[in-house]
């Protein structure tokens, strides 16, 4: 990124020392003066962001310094009316102002001059108290740019409650009890998706989880940046006992799983710029609701070794939810159905699905469920949920289902 700052400094170091706790949207603070030479265009200000600066001698060794804190970016247009005059004098005009920057506490830590632009970095302070200015003075009157980063801690602090041992009750106008929005965010609407959540896997296609998702959408406070949102929710989710499985600071998203206190939940939080999106798949609550409404529920999260009927250890969390459901409803009897995708011969898939359904029944019986309450049956690839036209679709068709016998 090319950035530029031109400071017309009739300014004291005291002015530069002023450090407002919050940035003002679309405005530069008074301690970044540019009067007399440039006017700022398209100022972008954030209370918390990540910015990188070059430090060192281009002829020898240049390093990159990363700063987290308050940031300002802007395009700059010269006030000089004569284009040819500006092309001849742009660099000299900038260098005439460097002593004023020095008087305000900034010293040059990087400079590189080319025929059409001058790039430089200036620093005031050291370590976690440093402020960096990155400048690019361009001989094109409208192409100079600027970035400034003032080291500061994340102003956004989030505290989340851990999910309770029993599923919480909340409505469409309520926040998730365990995944609340940041201060200043306003709930726009709530959505219900009957399809499983596509949870990112370490490799390969996403893993279907849950029997549906609840989605909540918010309008964020304008001062909440993607990085602030990301860092705050990563810390808060971990503190509340979640496992963060995937995240991206630049894109502002976090994926997490909670499998404690008899609960199994999958969630993500995403900052999309003008919208915040939170989604949760609650495996336990979803199973009960799916059986009550549609007479069957897919057990997403029950996984087997490749081409075998051996349950993988990561299936225990979902099977625990089935176990809790059957314990809470002693009169409930269910059929366990095994389903495959269409890869392989139909007869082989039918036999494999039957063995897998039987393995789930065996696990439940071993954990205290009466065998008389359970039956198992393999359906092979005869009942796909979606066309077997992609890896994601085939992953969705490979499943184990609970079904209420005689329920329609």
> What pLDDT does residue 19 have?
55
> What pLDDT does residue 13 have?
41
Alpha-carbon distance 61 to 47, whole Å? 31
pLDDT digits (tens, 9 = 90+) for 178-207: 999 999 999 999 999 888 898 887 776 778
Angle, alpha carbons 405-263-304 (nearest 5°) = 60
**Can you read off the two tokens belonging to residue 53?**
């600066």
Q: Do the bridges between strand 107-113 and strand 62-78 make them parallel or antiparallel, or are there none, so unpaired?
A: unpaired
**Can you read off the two tokens belonging to residue 71?**
């940031």
Count of positions (residues) in the chain: 408
The HSE-up count of residue 52 (CA atoms within 13 Å, CB side) is 6
| Torsions phi, psi for 59 (to 5 deg) | -80, -15
Q: Is 354 left (phi over 0), alpha (psi -120 to 50) or beta?
A: alpha
Residue 220: closest CA among 277, 152, 268: 277
Q: How are strands ordered across the β-sheet holding 144-151?
A: 38-56, 62-78, 144-151, 131-138, 117-124, 107-113
- How far the first Cα of the chain sits from its last, in Å, is 61
Its CATH class, for the domain covering 186-283, is alpha beta
User: Does residue 28 contact residue 40 with C-beta atoms inside 8 Å?
Assistant: yes
Domain range list for the chain: 13-151, 186-283, 295-403
User: Does residue 121 contact residue 54 with C-beta atoms inside 8 Å?
Assistant: yes
Alpha-helical segments (H) within 205-345? 226-239, 283-294, 316-328
Residues of the chain predicted below pLDDT 70: 1-21, 33, 204
- What three-state secondary structure class fits 357? helix
Angle, alpha carbons 322-326-330 (nearest 5°) = 175
295-403 to CATH, choices 3.30.1490.20, 1.10.3210.10, 3.30.1330.60, 3.40.50.620: 3.30.1330.60
> What pLDDT does residue 1 have?
38
Alpha-carbon distance 118 to 302, whole Å? 60
> What pLDDT does residue 84 have?
93
Question: DSSP state, 263?
Answer: -
**Can you read off the two tokens belonging to residue 133?**
């200015």
User: Does residue 74 contact residue 144 with C-beta atoms inside 8 Å?
Assistant: no
Residue 43: closest CA among 71, 13, 15, 83: 71
User: Does residue 302 contact residue 315 with C-beta atoms inside 8 Å?
Assistant: yes
Q: Which residues lie closer than 8 Å to 69 by C-beta, 6 or more apart? A: 48, 49, 149, 150, 151, 152, 153
Alpha-carbon distance 395 to 393, whole Å? 5
User: Does residue 369 contact residue 332 with C-beta atoms inside 8 Å?
Assistant: no
pLDDT digits (tens, 9 = 90+) for 22-66: 788 888 877 776 777 888 888 988 889 999 999 999 989 999 999
> What pLDDT does residue 392 have?
82
Q: Give residue for tokens 């066309």.
A: 387
Complete DSSP assignment for 140-194: STT-EEEEEEEE---S-----PPPPSS-----TTSPBTTBPPPTT-EEEEEEEE-
**Can you read off the two tokens belonging to residue 82?**
């004569």
Alpha-carbon distance 357 to 376, whole Å? 5
Q: Give residue for tokens 């620093």.
A: 123
| Torsions phi, psi for 31 (to 5 deg) | -85, 10
Q: E strands along 15-155, which residues?
A: 38-56, 62-78, 107-113, 117-124, 131-138, 144-151
Radius of gyration, alpha carbons of the chain = 29
């Amino acid at each position: 990124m090319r950035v530029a700052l031109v400071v017309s400094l009739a300014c004291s170091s005291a002015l530069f020392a002023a450090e407002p706790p919050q940035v003002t949207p679309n405005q530069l603070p008074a301690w970044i003066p540019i009067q007399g030479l440039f006017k700022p265009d398209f100022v972008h200000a954030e209370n918390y962001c990540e910015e990188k600066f070059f430090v060192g001698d281009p002829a020898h060794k240049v390093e990159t310094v990363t700063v987290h804190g308050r940031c300002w970016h802007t395009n700059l247009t010269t006030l000089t009316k004569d284009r040819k005059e500006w092309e001849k004098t742009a660099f000299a005009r900038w260098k005439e102002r460097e002593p004023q920057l020095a008087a305000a506490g900034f010293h040059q830590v990087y400079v590189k001059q080319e025929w059409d632009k001058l790039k430089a970095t200036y620093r005031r302070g050291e370590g976690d108290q440093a402020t960096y200015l990155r400048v690019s003075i361009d001989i094109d009157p409208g192409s100079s740019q600027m970035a400034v980063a003032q080291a500061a801690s994340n102003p956004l602090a989030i505290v989340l409650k851990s999910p309770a041992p029993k599923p919480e009750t909340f409505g469409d106008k309520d926040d998730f009890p365990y995944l609340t929005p940041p201060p200043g965010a306003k709930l726009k609407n709530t959505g219900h998706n009957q399809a499983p959540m596509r949870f990112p896997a370490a490799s390969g296609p996403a893993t279907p989880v849950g029997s549906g998702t609840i989605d909540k959408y918010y309008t964020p406070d304008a001062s909440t940046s993607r990085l602030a949102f990301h860092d705050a929710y990563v810390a808060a989710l971990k503190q509340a006992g979640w496992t963060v499985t995937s995240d991206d600071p630049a894109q502002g998203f976090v994926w997490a799983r909670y499998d404690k206190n008899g609960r199994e939940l999958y969630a993500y939080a995403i900052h999309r710029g003008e919208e915040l999106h939170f989604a949760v798949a609650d495996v336990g609550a979803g199973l009960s609701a799916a059986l009550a409404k549609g007479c069957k529920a897919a057990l997403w999260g029950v996984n087997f070794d490749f081409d075998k009927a051996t349950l993988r250890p990561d299936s225990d969390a979902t099977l625990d939810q089935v176990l809790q459901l059957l314990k809470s409803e002693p009169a409930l009897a269910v059929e366990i159905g095994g389903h495959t995708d269409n890869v392989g011969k139909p007869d082989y898939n039918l036999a494999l699905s039957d063995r897998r359904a039987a393995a789930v029944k065996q696990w439940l019986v071993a954990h205290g469920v009466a065998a008389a309450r359970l039956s198992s049956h393999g359906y092979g690839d005869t009942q796909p949920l979606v066309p077997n036209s992609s890896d994601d679709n085939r992953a969705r068709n490979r499943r184990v289902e609970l079904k209420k016998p005689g329920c329609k």
